[in-house]
Structure 1
């Protein structure tokens, strides 16, 4: 589903599902459904065309028509989903024959009534669809085509004076060096730089600055701006004309096919050109070559640009404006266009501090209404309208989150799935894997930013730049996509009579009236205060997402109302401190896909949980026990943390063959001996069946777990492994050929372990620790020159390790190294300072060393070792940073 077409993307397949014989609908109802399917397909095509045209360029009646179609699609999907729930039932049949018979009879009566009701509702919807279709024909919606941009909003960057440029000197010189170093300019081969970054970052300005400085060295040059919907024929003619105005003086009046024009350009540029391109899409930059990721301005450059445009310099700014200026600069986030736009707006308000505070407060809600922000909006809209339709809804959905909020990527994708934004395109990929590709595409287009990474370098959280958030919030408000309540102010809640479908409550005590919440699909609460006044949500039968993460539910008496939310797909009670029981009625939620219970005091899950056959993700705390019957949750892809209460639980994990992420806790009850041989055998046997497992975390805080096994052959897809307490490195790790990150604490390191790890070709991050209470005495390790070919970070704790362990050729990509030295080895002559060979590691950037030993015995040795290490860091070609732990 995408925002331009409402729920049509998921509704049309559901209508086809209703035509199946198992639903036993009357013949007349089936004909009505067939009519609706055809008509809605036509409307979907028309809506897609509408979605490609900037909203500002659409006539008001067409915008109203598009809104009505979207609302109609939501209403119809609600009807179909409700029918499917009532016909298919939410409860499993009773085992007792009398109750089973009575339930069967009740089902017959209920389902007959339900079929009659949906037949009537389909007829009502049919009349609405006819009326909307007539208006489509009347407004000639099908004839809409995307308009070509007549004036590119980036054009002003081409005429910026060199004296007005701020903060680009370093980037400009770096690009010039890339393009000109080496061969003589007249004989050099083609060189390319592709500048990438999101709208407003100054890509065009930087490219023009480089172009202006280099153009005097060339006989011919051309600078061409490509609009969102370019006339390619005209574009190529403009390029040829700029390259040779005499030869192509009449090119614009000559009729030539695009292929011929392309051939002329290629011929002209072959083997003698320098090319600079700009793009918002990382993939495009990488395919062009010479990718250069443009960074935001530094804070100092931001201040220079900001204060210079308003007061002439920072020194001329009155003191009372400094505090609000810092807040404004933070919101601008180093984006030149944002700073220029905002400072231009403030230049005429330099005598009124109140107006400055008003402007600061409006950033985040004012792009749509402030004419001074028009150029900023237009440039950012280029990125939005350039998105494929399936990504527009995913981007607008981010307007649910507050400013500067770190969004967990896994949870974001699960929410997209719950909202039906992600469609199954390839059978060999799960919905979550499709969602990951959606996220990566938005990241590549520079519309979201990385906020945090995991130990293996993968992205864990993201955030939205304030200016992008401002844009999507304004678009979301226009589309009635998300309704936000911020503090005690209704920011974008639709007016009375409109429908609230997605509600974001941010640090507020105010709730919309229940009469406009009857069709609510999503509720997300940020801040604990709202719970005290939360109305009963049991009447919100259409709710798909209920996110109470971080709310204080410690004293909340019961969550039984959740059992009435039959459409629920996503439920988060994470970090709520809820101490009650999870109601047995949770088993009625047959559509539930995500259940988040970590950060609660729930002791055990009800047995009905095993009836949730569509569950993709189940996250609980280590103190929560799971019931028997886990094997029935066959759709699970993410499961953590499983408390190993019995061998039965361990064995049942082997039936969850779709698992990609798994976390287990071996000793959560803190009882010595709780981890026994039966559990070990059952767990390792289960791991051998999980062929799709990518991430595994094993926690055993109170006993050393022996994780050796005769054969675990399924780990070919494992990329991330964390074991926090085990006797030794499990031998089955050598089969994990895709392992990228290993974080393991052992009682003993064997000499061959380092060799085994060195042969893991994909290993990038290694954290190897020996238990501090270990009395192990280690000999010198020896690895081959080709060991650890991809490793970029290594940490060795609890045992002595020196860089010369890795001969020249080993660890060629290592950038960060943390290791320990036992000074007694040097005092006894078992090691010398010649062993501290940092020069063996050519990519080294950062070194951290822990020195251990009896100080009064080894103080001289310690000084000598420190001096030697500092000297090696100083003479290393990379001059790595150096710290003693």
Structure 2
């Protein structure tokens, strides 16, 4: 009962128990229904007598009690002491929306049961039964309804309540595609206005109403993202932090607290884990929202004027003060319409999905904190010309904007900036003004290699590219006017003169960025990468002074800077994640042997490039959780596997693209090796001949993922893996 009162609950239970006993004895004792707080309980048999402890009569008896919808651990603690010890034949069943509360209530892990959504086969069967009174084959009897039925089931996402309610509603509607199409198009309005569907909203709203305030605002924020969008954990956590939804508390950073919020919403099933990624040592790296729960988010965020979604068919009425503006790919309005719909002077965040247009950034957005253009297309250099005017900006993402090759110097005016994400752009050099961003804590840059050949050959046609780039610079920087795909001549000139030409002239790879001198001033940095360290030791001297770094990615390491690099890494005591890449045939040869004292807290290590022998210090990383070896071409596979098998906390091991070299690569997992390994990824290991698991090896292995071969006969000992699930 809400509001929760333990005394009322215990009295109600006592009344129900005695009522059942009276019915069994045929006494017909009248016991008034307990109405919750303030209900009177008679002082007679069948009620709670004065001085008598509630539930006292259960002692020594067999009983089954169900406590539905416990919302906090304190509620359980307040009542569990009143129950007699549960003997063999007695049980208490608790239902709750929150996983950690279930753990708190259950003494044993195997006593917990997570209610999963229905699999597609059973969801369709239940839906057909509610609509037609029997399981019906739509392909044969109602083929015109098939597409709309699939859309309805997708929105229900296996939720039985939604399937039964919507199916029951459609049972009384004409069995024509047009009616079902209307329901799909206007599901939000139908859920709110149709009495036959209001049960869904009532139940789902209970989940929302049960959230504490700090989680409510984080949940409503998710209505920014389009339907079926997979929101990354990284993106959400840093945006919530920029919005001020989490703050540093007693030594715990705002980002760590926001990360807890993410997992709390997962635990409460308000957001669903999209992918338990083998590439993320934290487990869940992205999420999505159940379609019907998303309707709750949209409805409440609109009502509170928190989020306005600019999309096809949206209301053109003036919305007044809106904090967060989301521009969908299907909106085709013009500049005047854009400025008239919302008060841009109060907007705190702008998120663009799909096509970028120049008027999406306005001088009126003086309070803007978040500008997120991740994967937007059509963004080019001159669109960022006035970015420095957004002086309150805390989060700027150009991730995946392939048309960007240069950041303007004015970016140095963004003194409040905390996150700068330019990963997946063509930027290879940062402006000097970047060192003014004293609050910057996360700088993500660089491009991912497209294929394995990118690790071997360096820049193709290295001799011709500088000459070609100079010629193109001269041509495109000439004064005549022209443009390509929205790029003006200045953009094209910048691309060649500040992009291709420096890369070619300095023989750099294309997957890291060059940093200006003075980066050591950015003391707040905890995430930095991918950085190209090929141009001298000054950059490494700056990096070694960034003593708050927890995550670092570098490229361009070689024999010349290897010793200096190892020395710099040894000074970063808080480093948890390190990624090292080297191009060409030389690769990482003789570059990592000087690492005498690697950071003790290192949890993730990724090595890309030729490395004939595994460095000895890796086996000593006691806290290492994830290791990825790609294109390392290690000669002694047996010795390397034996060394890695002794790392006590290694949970994820990825061996990719010729991690080992030899005529016959045999990977053997011996007794008591890899005691903590949960995920093993084997990808394109070249001349792989066998993978053998001895009895007792990898006892916790749950996922074995392999590609590059379809011959399952290469694997032996799979039946000996007690925990293998997939």
TM-score by length of structure 1 reads: 0.62
1:705 aligned partner: 588
Take 2:715 and 2:403, find their aligned partners in 1: how far apart are those partners? 56
For the 8 Å contact 2:634–2:660, the answer to whether it is kept is: no
1:448 aligned partner: 271
Instruction: Note the C-alpha offset of 1:525.
Output: 0.9
1:375 aligned partner: 199
For the 8 Å contact 1:716–1:735, the answer to whether it is kept is: no
* Post-superposition CA distance 1:679-705 (Å, at most 9, x none): 212221222122222222222232421
* Post-superposition CA distance 1:849-878 (Å, at most 9, x none): xxxxxxxxxxxxxxxxxxxxxxxxxxxxxx
Q: Note closer, same or farther for the CA distance 1:794–1:534 as it changes in structure 2 (3 Å cut).
A: same
The equivalent position to 2:354 in structure 1, one of 522, 527, 533, is: 527
2:542 aligned partner: 652
Take 1:311 and 1:770, find their aligned partners in 2: how far apart are those partners? 53
Give the CA RMSD over aligned residues.
3.1
2:256 equivalent to 1:439: no
2:90 aligned partner: 273
2:345 equivalent to 1:518: yes
Q: Note closer, same or farther for the CA distance 1:305–1:734 as it changes in structure 2 (3 Å cut).
A: same
The equivalent position to 2:515 in structure 1, one of 626, 629, 644, is: 626
Take 2:237 and 2:397, find their aligned partners in 1: how far apart are those partners? 14
2:208 equivalent to 1:326: no
Take 2:725 and 2:88, find their aligned partners in 1: how far apart are those partners? 38
* Post-superposition CA distance 1:537-566 (Å, at most 9, x none): 122111111112222235452412211101
2:549 equivalent to 1:725: no
2:554 aligned partner: 664
2:116 equivalent to 1:295: yes
Instruction: Note the C-alpha offset of 1:845.
Output: 5.2
2:215 equivalent to 1:391: yes
Q: Note closer, same or farther for the CA distance 1:266–1:480 as it changes in structure 2 (3 Å cut).
A: same
For the 8 Å contact 1:662–1:697, the answer to whether it is kept is: yes
For the 8 Å contact 1:538–1:562, the answer to whether it is kept is: no
What is the aligned length?
A: 594
1:636 aligned partner: 525
For the 8 Å contact 2:569–2:598, the answer to whether it is kept is: yes
- Once structures 1 and 2 are overlaid, which stretch shifts more, 575-584 or 705-714? 705-714
Take 1:770 and 1:506, find their aligned partners in 2: how far apart are those partners? 38
Take 1:387 and 1:652, find their aligned partners in 2: how far apart are those partners? 45
1:856 aligned partner: none
- Which segments of 5 or more consecutive residues in structure 2 lack a partner in the other structure? 23-30, 32-43, 57-78, 447-510
Take 1:838 and 1:304, find their aligned partners in 2: how far apart are those partners? 36
2:573 equivalent to 1:691: yes
Structure 1 residue matching 2:84: 3-state secondary structure: helix
- Once structures 1 and 2 are overlaid, which stretch shifts more, 650-659 or 591-600? 650-659
The equivalent position to 1:341 in structure 2, one of 151, 159, 165, is: 165
* Post-superposition CA distance 1:432-472 (Å, at most 9, x none): 11111111111111111111214356211110110110001
Instruction: Note the C-alpha offset of 1:775.
Output: 4.6
For the 8 Å contact 2:635–2:660, the answer to whether it is kept is: no
2:623 aligned partner: 738
For the 8 Å contact 1:232–1:258, the answer to whether it is kept is: no
* Post-superposition CA distance 1:353-411 (Å, at most 9, x none): 43321111122565434433321111112211211221111111001001110001111
For the 8 Å contact 1:546–1:571, the answer to whether it is kept is: yes
Considering fraction of residues, name the structure with more helix: 1
The equivalent position to 2:14 in structure 1, one of 212, 216, 240, is: 240
Take 2:400 and 2:657, find their aligned partners in 1: how far apart are those partners? 32
Take 1:740 and 1:473, find their aligned partners in 2: how far apart are those partners? 38
2:36 equivalent to 1:230: no
Take 1:380 and 1:632, find their aligned partners in 2: how far apart are those partners? 49
Instruction: Note the C-alpha offset of 1:661.
Output: 2.0
Alignment of structure 1 residues 599-618 onto 2, 5 Å: 599-618=424-443
Take 1:835 and 1:323, find their aligned partners in 2: how far apart are those partners? 42
For the 8 Å contact 1:331–1:363, the answer to whether it is kept is: no
Instruction: Note the C-alpha offset of 1:820.
Output: 11
Take 2:123 and 2:718, find their aligned partners in 1: how far apart are those partners? 39
Structure 2 residue matching 1:442: 3-state secondary structure: helix
Take 1:254 and 1:505, find their aligned partners in 2: how far apart are those partners? 64
Take 1:232 and 1:419, find their aligned partners in 2: how far apart are those partners? 38
* Post-superposition CA distance 1:560-595 (Å, at most 9, x none): 221110100111112222335311111111110111
Q: Note closer, same or farther for the CA distance 1:844–1:413 as it changes in structure 2 (3 Å cut).
A: closer
Structure 1 residue matching 2:641: 3-state secondary structure: helix
For the 8 Å contact 1:704–1:726, the answer to whether it is kept is: yes
Q: Note closer, same or farther for the CA distance 1:845–1:563 as it changes in structure 2 (3 Å cut).
A: closer
Q: Note closer, same or farther for the CA distance 1:474–1:660 as it changes in structure 2 (3 Å cut).
A: same
* Post-superposition CA distance 1:649-706 (Å, at most 9, x none): 233222222222222122xxxxxxxx43342122212221222222222222324213
For the 8 Å contact 2:370–2:396, the answer to whether it is kept is: yes
Take 1:545 and 1:839, find their aligned partners in 2: how far apart are those partners? 51
Q: Note closer, same or farther for the CA distance 1:263–1:601 as it changes in structure 2 (3 Å cut).
A: closer
1:145 aligned partner: none
Q: Note closer, same or farther for the CA distance 1:735–1:513 as it changes in structure 2 (3 Å cut).
A: same
1:310 aligned partner: 131
Q: Note closer, same or farther for the CA distance 1:657–1:260 as it changes in structure 2 (3 Å cut).
A: farther
1:135 aligned partner: none
* Post-superposition CA distance 1:299-320 (Å, at most 9, x none): 2221222122122232486332
Structure 2 residue matching 1:275: 3-state secondary structure: strand
Take 2:553 and 2:187, find their aligned partners in 1: how far apart are those partners? 42
* Post-superposition CA distance 1:178-208 (Å, at most 9, x none): xxxxxxxxxxxxxxxxxxxxxxxxxxxxxxx
Q: Note closer, same or farther for the CA distance 1:585–1:331 as it changes in structure 2 (3 Å cut).
A: same
For the 8 Å contact 1:766–1:795, the answer to whether it is kept is: yes
Alignment of structure 1 residues 27-46 onto 2, 5 Å: none
2:287 equivalent to 1:462: yes
1:812 aligned partner: 699
Q: Note closer, same or farther for the CA distance 1:521–1:660 as it changes in structure 2 (3 Å cut).
A: same
2:61 aligned partner: none
Q: Note closer, same or farther for the CA distance 1:559–1:305 as it changes in structure 2 (3 Å cut).
A: same
For the 8 Å contact 1:768–1:795, the answer to whether it is kept is: yes
- Which segments of 5 or more consecutive residues in structure 1 lack a partner in the other structure? 1-226, 667-674, 823-832, 847-885
Structure 1 residue matching 2:14: 3-state secondary structure: helix
Structure 2 residue matching 1:390: 3-state secondary structure: helix
Instruction: Note the C-alpha offset of 1:286.
Output: 2.0
Alignment of structure 1 residues 830-841 onto 2, 5 Å: 836-838=716-718, 840-841=720-721
2:38 aligned partner: none
Take 1:295 and 1:599, find their aligned partners in 2: how far apart are those partners? 37
TM-score by length of structure 2 reads: 0.75
Take 1:299 and 1:792, find their aligned partners in 2: how far apart are those partners? 28
1:107 aligned partner: none
Q: Note closer, same or farther for the CA distance 1:599–1:842 as it changes in structure 2 (3 Å cut).
A: closer
Take 1:257 and 1:440, find their aligned partners in 2: how far apart are those partners? 43
For the 8 Å contact 1:769–1:798, the answer to whether it is kept is: no
* Post-superposition CA distance 1:284-338 (Å, at most 9, x none): 1222231212211122221222122122232486332222111111111110111
Q: Note closer, same or farther for the CA distance 1:640–1:241 as it changes in structure 2 (3 Å cut).
A: same
- Once structures 1 and 2 are overlaid, which stretch shifts more, 495-504 or 300-309? 495-504
Take 2:131 and 2:688, find their aligned partners in 1: how far apart are those partners? 59
For the 8 Å contact 2:13–2:55, the answer to whether it is kept is: no
1:565 aligned partner: 390
1:765 aligned partner: 652
